[in-house]
Homo-oligomer: A and B are copies of this chain.
């Protein structure tokens, strides 16, 4: 369809969002134009601000528009000797939502992947090395994804912790709560057997 070129540009631009195809982009563009121009303008403003001003925390590498994020500057978090290593800022959101953790974080922004040319310095392990050397971290909790790359990254960081004489632990893998044992895949089930806890 040939429409006004500005509308076409908007539909094309909306497709940079994950999960938005041509049909959804059209629906979004018409919705904003017809019903919510103010919201559209606010979105434009928030987008251009976020894209230009949000950088990485100089302590944990998560997204923040300040030099240091609000978790790293929190004195309560600083006195806690735990550091949780995650792959993405979204993982911080998930862990914070549990309310079970009150230490600091370190965000890799990816995982080791030699085939894609992603080595230790690309995921900030030089900064992690520096932070472990400072000596205020007592335990590193490795919460990378349970994938081949995530496991390899966790293993690599565990070695780094050993070199600095810092305890390293890995989050438990096993049967998800509320699931049925018979529907759980074999690898998960064998992990849950190997990682059994004494009652």
Partner-B contacts on A (CB < 8 A) = 1-7, 9-10, 12-14, 16-19, 24, 26-34, 36-37, 39-54, 63-66, 69-70, 88-90, 92-93, 96-97, 109
* Contact (Cβ within 8 A) B4 A64: yes
Closest to A97 in B: B1
The answer for the CA separation of A44 and B43 in the assembled complex, in Å, is 7
Copies assembled: 2
The answer for the CA separation of A93 and B2 in the assembled complex, in Å, is 8
* Contact (Cβ within 8 A) A88 B30: yes
Q: Which of these, B33, B70, B90, contacts A50 with CB under 8 Å?
A: B33
What is the predominant secondary structure among interface residues of chain A facing chain B? helix
* Contact (Cβ within 8 A) B40 A50: yes
Q: Which of these, B1, B28, B48, B93, contacts A26 with CB under 8 Å?
A: B93
Closest to A16 in B: B39
With A6-B53, A30-B63 given, name 5 new contacts (CB 8 A): A16-B36, A19-B27, A19-B28, A26-B93, A30-B88
The answer for the CA separation of A182 and B50 in the assembled complex, in Å, is 53
* Contact (Cβ within 8 A) B31 A66: no
Task: Pick from A6, A53, A88 the residue with the most CB of B within 10 Å.
Answer: A6
* Contact (Cβ within 8 A) A41 B52: yes
The answer for the CA separation of A37 and B174 in the assembled complex, in Å, is 37
Name the B residues within 8 Å of A18 (CB-CB): 27-28, 31
The answer for the CA separation of A43 and B55 in the assembled complex, in Å, is 19
* Contact (Cβ within 8 A) B43 A47: yes
Q: Contacts A6-B54, A17-B32, A54-B7: A27 and B65 contacting too (C-beta < 8 A)? A: no
Name the B residues within 8 Å of A34 (CB-CB): 88, 109
